[in-house]
Amino acid sequence: MKKLVRRGPLQWGMACGEWLTFQDERKAQYPGWWFEHEVPEGTSVRVLEDAVAVLVERHEILRTTFDVDEDGCPEQRVWSPERVEVHALAAADPDQLQAFRTRDFLVDSEWPCRFGRVRRGTGAPALLACFSHIAVDNRAKEILKHDLAVIMESVLAKRSPDLPPVEWQPLDYALYERSEKTSALRRRAEEYWADALDRIPVATFNIGEAPETVRYVDCRSSPRSAIGQLERVAEKIEVPMSAVFAAVFGIALGAATGQEVVPLDVTTHGRVSRNALNVVAPLARAVIIPGVLLADQSFGDFARGLHRLTFQANRYSMVDTLEYTEWRAVVNGRKGGEIGSRIALNFMYKQEGGHHAADAPSRSGPQWESTVGDPVEYRSFSHHLYVAVSGSGARLEFLVSGNEAVVGRGNTEAIARSITDLLACLDDDPDRQVGDLRGAVAGLFAASFRDSLRGEPVFSRGDAFRPDSIDAALRAHAGVRAVSTRLEEGALVADVAVSQPSLTEGELFAFLKSQRSYRAVSRTVPDRIRVERRAMSVDPGVGRDAVAASDAEAALVDCVRAVNRLGSADARLSYAECGGRFFRAPAVLRRLRSLGYEGLKRNDLQLPCSLSVLSERLDPTHDQTPTHGLAS
């Protein structure tokens, strides 16, 4: 019988996102990892189980479950070592093997690993090892592969494995993250992000709202010349290949949007200290960096600047991952739009065995294949633009996936083509200026740019906005006669003529925030509101208090207040602005379901729209009348 050895908090990183998804949906956020280790013919299942037992005893994470503590916070529970079954799968068909590899783990009740004896494509026997993403990331997988190889060799030779002791288990690192030793680093990280997040622009593609359903344009290419081009440019300007590609994508994005500041969501490994390098746990996290495109700057300087920003983001990533998301959501709520605009860059190429610059001619004519998917619901986590680089050695693959409603099909395809065009330009001359490079691909965006953005973009301190959207939202207030939103000295200002003498700027801000759409793409809240009053008699019942809150709104407000132990919660504010904690979001949804309401997902509570707007998405699940005001 399993015995609980110890328990404690979850380490920061993507494991927190996996924990949230499982708490809400009882499934994994991302597919897990697996690998096969070839073994000699005739190796018995019992011998394989002996090797697995050593691996599981060595690494606590493989005998850990993930649940909640008494306060509702993420918790990991480490159990005493036990033998783990190795399933006999040599006769399994491909579908059975795929199901074995991909089946989600019930991580609150079962260990996050499973093993099977299989036959490889060559017919050779192998041990198949599968892991949940809440326990293992790519770095951790490589450590486990190495350790299993050493252990298997020693078990077959009937001797002890020659492996150093594991100094840091995931729970050790989780406690270290929260210890006094890291307090100064955590404070510096909080100060860094308080300033950095405020400088990240809202929106990149200047449309007001995405539709209810969207389609994705996927552009794929495997250009033979690209790996050589990346290697040569990286070597000449002395930056990693990932920084070269990030800079190329940033210039393509700038050419597509006309913006000088392009925000990129990048994934950092999160291993900010030496003792984290060999921790078997998913420590990676996504952070935002702003790329500033200066026309007279050389490409090398731009790429080096992006590399420094990424390094800084990783250096200051010693923060509670969920807390970082809350900080970001509060900024989103204040501006009425999402900073970063869901533009993600994932560089997953793995360099193997020296250079590949001579593996293919530099002029191989890259071909892009473009497909458009079926309509899907626009969700709070739907990306606007996702770019991935994958492969290893001489094989490299590009994927550019764009939200057709936000980015546009023409823009997505043009961004894809401009990436390979820019690589060819830089291969000839890596010292070219950013302005020249933007000009070299600008022609690709001439028609699609105007169509996608529905007119020329308007920016305030880097934020994209639509004056007509802000004006229309303010005109919905019964006490507003006229509105005009404009830029003044870089600030976004709304001049509002009112018919209610008592109406204040603060009340108009609150009203505007209450109208924020959950599908808003561009910024919807100005920096300032100036009120112009005209004396007249007004019915005091007209205005923001004229309509009583619905039962659904009252239920949502009550759940947010009670679960987060807040004295009050304002329906005009977003969940984060009210003080709602993201780790409590699953509990909020469970409480809503107990009151008879469905319709919200966990990610919806991260949106910049108000609780009032979110409540419009709630549907009663049965005819009972909800009872509000439950004790907290």
| Residue-averaged pLDDT of the chain | 88
Number of domains in the chain: 4
Give the tens place of pLDDT for each residue, 134-159.
999 988 999 999 999 999 999 999 99
CA atoms within 13 A on the CB side of 200: 30
Range 353-357 average pLDDT = 51
Tell me the CATH number at 58.
3.30.559.10
Q: Which neighbouring-strand residues pair with 480?
A: 498
Range 379-392 average pLDDT = 89
Does 249 fall in a domain? yes
Does 207 fall in a domain? yes
As a whole number of angstroms, the distance between CA 173 and CA 24 comes to 26
3-state class of 478 per DSSP?
Answer: coil
Does 422 fall in a domain? yes
Do 513 and 440 lie in a common domain? no
As a whole number of angstroms, the distance between CA 553 and CA 557 comes to 6
- Let me know: does 501 contact 510? Beta carbons within 8 Å: no
Query: Which pLDDT belongs to residue 274?
Result: 77
Do 168 and 190 lie in a common domain? no
Which residue among 504, 533, 562 closes a domain? 533
Do 576 and 492 lie in a common domain? no
Does 56 fall in a domain? yes
260's tokens: 């000088």
Which residue among 453, 485, 508 closes a domain? 453
Do 258 and 399 lie in a common domain? yes
Query: Quick one: DSSP state of residue 182?
Result: G
Does 120 fall in a domain? yes
Do 54 and 140 lie in a common domain? yes
523's tokens: 């910024």
Q: What percent of the chain has pLDDT over 90?
A: 65
Tell me the CATH number at 572.
1.10.1200
Predicted confidence band of residue 83 (pLDDT cuts 50, 70, 90): very high
- Let me know: does 336 contact 608? Beta carbons within 8 Å: yes
Is 527 exposed, middle or buried, given 0-12, 13-18 or 19+ CB atoms closer than 10 A? middle
Helix axes 241-257, 409-428, angle to 10 degrees: 130
Do 433 and 513 lie in a common domain? no
- Let me know: does 201 contact 259? Beta carbons within 8 Å: yes
Q: Which neighbouring-strand residues pair with 8?
A: 76
Between strands 459-460 and 463-464, the pairing is antiparallel
Do 12 and 79 lie in a common domain? yes
Query: Which pLDDT belongs to residue 621?
Result: 75
Give the tens place of pLDDT for each residue, 443-482.
888 544 433 434 455 777 778 888 888 999 999 999 999 9
Tally of CB atoms within 10 A around 383 = 18
As a whole number of angstroms, the distance between CA 300 and CA 430 comes to 7
Query: Which pLDDT belongs to residue 24?
Result: 87
Chain CA centroid to CA 579, Å: 21
Give the structural domain span for 202: 184-453
Does 541 fall in a domain? no
pTM attached to this predicted model: 0.85
- Let me know: does 277 contact 178? Beta carbons within 8 Å: no
Closest of 34, 264, 200, 266 to residue 132, by C-alpha: 34
As a whole number of angstroms, the distance between CA 554 and CA 510 comes to 18
Do 293 and 191 lie in a common domain? yes
Give the tens place of pLDDT for each residue, 471-530.
999 999 999 999 999 888 878 999 999 998 889 999 999 899 888 888 888 899 999 999
- Let me know: does 373 contact 218? Beta carbons within 8 Å: yes
As a whole number of angstroms, the distance between CA 339 and CA 194 comes to 13
Tell me the CATH number at 514.
3.30.300.30
Do 142 and 117 lie in a common domain? yes
Do 386 and 260 lie in a common domain? yes
Do 172 and 190 lie in a common domain? no
Is 362 exposed, middle or buried, given 0-12, 13-18 or 19+ CB atoms closer than 10 A? middle
Which residue among 453, 484, 509 closes a domain? 453
84's tokens: 């783990």
As a whole number of angstroms, the distance between CA 72 and CA 68 comes to 5
Does 627 fall in a domain? no
Query: Which pLDDT belongs to residue 514?
Result: 87
Do 441 and 496 lie in a common domain? no
Largest CA distance in the chain: 95
Does 545 fall in a domain? no
Residue whose entry in the numeric block shows the structure tokens 């913006």: 259
Is 324 exposed, middle or buried, given 0-12, 13-18 or 19+ CB atoms closer than 10 A? buried
